[in-house]
Amino acid sequence: MRSMKFLKTIICCLLFTQINAQKQPVTKQTEPGRPKLVVGLVIDQMRWDYLQRFADRYGSGGFKRLMKDGFNCNNNFINYATTQTAAGHTSLYTGSVPAIHGVLGNSWYSRELKRNVYCTEDTSVVTVGSSSNAGKMSPVNIQTTTIGDELRLATNFRSKVISISIKDRGSILTGGHSANAAYWFDNSVGGFITSTYYMKELPQWVQQFNNKKLPDQYLQQNWNTLYPIETYQQSTGDAQPYEKIIPGEDNTFPHITAAIQKDKYNSFRHMPQGSTYTLEMAKAAIEGEQLGRGAFTDLLAVSCSSPDLVGHEFGPNSLELEDTYLRLDQDIAAFLSYLDKTIGKDQYTLFLSADHGVAENSTFLRLNKIPSPVLTNGVLEARINQVLQSEFKISNGISKIINQQVYLNHPAIQGQDEPAVLNAITKELLSIPAMANVYTLKNLPTATMPERLRELVTNSYNQKLSGDIYYAIKPHAYQGSDKGASHGLWYNYDTHLPLIFYGWGIQKGSTNRRTNITDVAATLAALLKVQMPSGCIGEVIEE
């Protein structure tokens, strides 16, 4: 009898529990607190000082808005030695350095293939959007994940990652391995393309954007100064003899781009309107992919390449460069206003940075009493081969010189005393007036050198991919033509870059402590509550 009562009690308890459980609301899966959209805005070849140099002419809605309402890292630096576009973009989004992520520069020498390898080359894919070979590209050479990859992994691939740039490397290397799409400009069609790594055909919204033929419209407008030319006080005069020219044009304002017939879309890349066009494509991507509208945070990586091309042609003290940044300021202001209206003023997080800086033109420096020796291309290889022939009877002892690295032809020097060969090359290079430092890469840990330089060179050295000797020319020395301007060294003009965070989750303020290009991905990972990229060595900017 007691057992029957006990059994009834148990049954009643189970029924009560089941009924009560059915009344409990089902907990809906929600994403951790994150912004609707993350926007990375990389300005190719933007030195830190451009934020201040042209500040009196910037409007209130572009660079000044970001500096006033965002968090400004005033002492942000590249923490490796070879300051090139591909390495910079990859380091920003991986939080890593060439020694780890494997993108040593725009190109590097492959001993296995016995040729240079381009940073995004991939012969296993084909172009989507044109019949050219410009789309045979992918992120296959990145050896780590990016912040976009980690965001996709954290949301089980429900977040979207889209990257856009006129340059293939500025787009592909920022999106990462698992990006939904990367788009870049193809001169053969005057529009954006991609590769079969991402898709089989261009989305309808990209086709519609390309059909607007905006580059043709910009070319027809010509390029004159935004303001009266006599008001440009931060630049030298127009048409300097040490400036290069826009392909198919000249180096004098106004630039009559409407008259360019041959390879006109290559000329378009060298106009400030290239940034306008890139940001218009970014807006189209937000609309076409409905970025920032879903349940999970999306990422849009945008790289404005035209400032780099203008800088290479005319130099950082040119009228063209100043005008480019005054126009870019207006473009950024318009883009921020668009994000405010489309995503919501406090619903997106944006960072602005650069991939590298640039040196002043060597002739310009010498005219202003600043030493700037020129090292002609081809001199290094000729002198090294000469000393190897005279001292060791070695012919063709050098396979390649690239990225300030000398690759020995090891089969050619087999049987020789390799330390003696390396020592002879080092001695010969140091005898060149423009040369500052020469180091054997495998001996870096014991070399007598400044610790800062040791860190930078070590972070550029990949045992499998790098050469045998690293050299650095003197500050402000120039390797190559003495026209235009270039970059690629470890000095401050190439490594000191802007870094501003703005928007959701960001406090207003600034810091003068040293930060690094690798800290961007680490900081975004902390903000988004996702894993850091696999090779990240950066630190969170906690302020």
The pLDDT value recorded for residue 23 is 44
Which residue type occupies 316? P
**The pLDDT value given to residue 2:** 43
119, 168 Cβ separation under 8 angstroms: no
- C-alpha span between 504 and 441 (Å, rounded): 43
Span 335-385, pLDDT tens digits = 999 999 999 999 999 999 999 999 999 999 999 999 999 888 788 999 999
Q: Which of 193, 146, 150 is nearest to 174 (CA)?
A: 146
What pLDDT score does 376 carry? Answer: 82
Give the span between the Cα atoms of 190 and 216, in whole angstroms. Answer: 8
Residues 6+ apart with CB under 8 A from 11: none
Does the pLDDT of residue 427 top 70, yes or no? Answer: yes
What pLDDT, on the 0 to 100 scale, is given for residue 328? 98
85 is catalytic: yes
Asked if residues 295 and 31 have their Cβ atoms less than 8 Å apart, the reply is yes
CA distance linking residue 286 with residue 300, whole number of Å: 8
- For the beta carbon of residue 240, count every other beta carbon within 10 angstroms: 19
Most confident of 97-111, 366-380, 473-487: 97-111
Q: Any idea which residue has 């420096």 for tokens?
A: 365
Cα separation, 51 vs 368, in Å, equals 23
Q: Where are the beta strands (DSSP E) in 395-529?
A: 398-402, 405-408, 435-440, 469-473, 478-479, 496-497, 499-503, 509-516
Give rounded-to-5 percent helix, strand, coil for the chain. 40, 20, 45
**Which of 126, 259, 110 has its CA nearest to residue 194?**
126
The active-site residue, picked from 85, 145, 155, 236, is: 85
By mean pLDDT, which of 53-62, 106-115, 302-311, 476-485 is the weakest?
Answer: 476-485
Residue 479 pLDDT: 87
pLDDT in tens, 106-162: 999 999 999 999 999 999 999 999 999 999 999 999 999 999 999 999 999 999 999
Banded pLDDT at 200 (limits 50, 70, 90): very high
Is 349 strand, coil or helix? strand
Strands 71-77 and 509-516: parallel
Q: Which residue has the tokens 């300030």?
A: 404
Single-letter amino acid code for the residue at 406: V
Phi, psi of 223 (to 5 degrees): -125, 105
Please say if the pLDDT value at position 522 is more than 50.
yes
The answer to whether the CB of 100 falls within 8 A of the CB of 535 is yes
pLDDT higher than threshold 90 for residue 411: yes
Sign of CA dihedral 102, 103, 105, 110: positive
Instruction: Give the pLDDT score at 378.
Output: 83
Residues in contact with 399: Cβ distance below 8 Å, sequence separation at least 6, in sequence order:
109, 111, 114, 407, 408, 409
Query: How many Å apart are CA 440 and CA 260, to the nearest integer?
Result: 48
Give the H/E segment covering residue 101. helix 98-101
CA 377 from centroid of its chain's CA atoms = 25
pLDDT of residue 481: 80
pLDDT at 27 over 50: no
> Which residues on adjacent β-strands are paired with residue 516?
77
Q: Out of 25-29, 115-119, 265-269, 449-453, which region has the weakest mean confidence (pLDDT)?
A: 25-29
Angle between helices 273-289 and 204-211 (to 10 degrees): 150
CB atoms within 10 A of CB 447: 15
Contact 97, 522 (CB under 8 A): no
SS3 15: helix
User: Above 80 in pLDDT, residue 15?
Assistant: no
How high is the pLDDT of residue 28?
40
**pLDDT tops 80 at residue 435:** yes
Angle at CA of residue 94, ends 515 and 187, nearest 5°: 110
Average pLDDT over residues 232-250: 95
Exposed, middle or buried, 216 (CB in 10 Å: 0-12/13-18/19+)? middle
What confidence tier does 14 reach under pLDDT thresholds 50, 70, 90? Answer: very low
Q: Check: pTM over 0.75? Answer yes or no.
A: yes
Candidate from 25-29, 347-351, 505-509 with smallest mean pLDDT: 25-29
Task: Determine contact, residues 379/432, Cβ cutoff 8 Å.
Answer: yes
Length in residues, the chain: 543
Q: For the chain, what is the largest distance between any 2 Cα atoms, rounded to a whole number of angstroms?
A: 112
Q: How would you classify the pairing of strands 374-375 and 478-479?
A: parallel
Q: What three-state secondary structure class fits 441?
A: helix
Model pLDDT, residue 6: 45
Segment 226-252 shows an average pLDDT of 95
Work out the average pLDDT over 268-282. 98
3-state secondary structure of 37: strand
Backbone Cα Rg of the chain: 27
**How does residue 96 score in pLDDT terms, banded at 50, 70 and 90?**
very high
d(CA 458, CA 452): 10
Res 26: pLDDT:
39
pLDDT score of 19 more than 70: no
Give 184's strand partners. Answer: 193
Query: Whole-number mean pLDDT of the chain?
Result: 94
Question: What is the predicted pLDDT for the residue at 32?
Answer: 65
Neighbours of 385 (CB within 10 A): 17
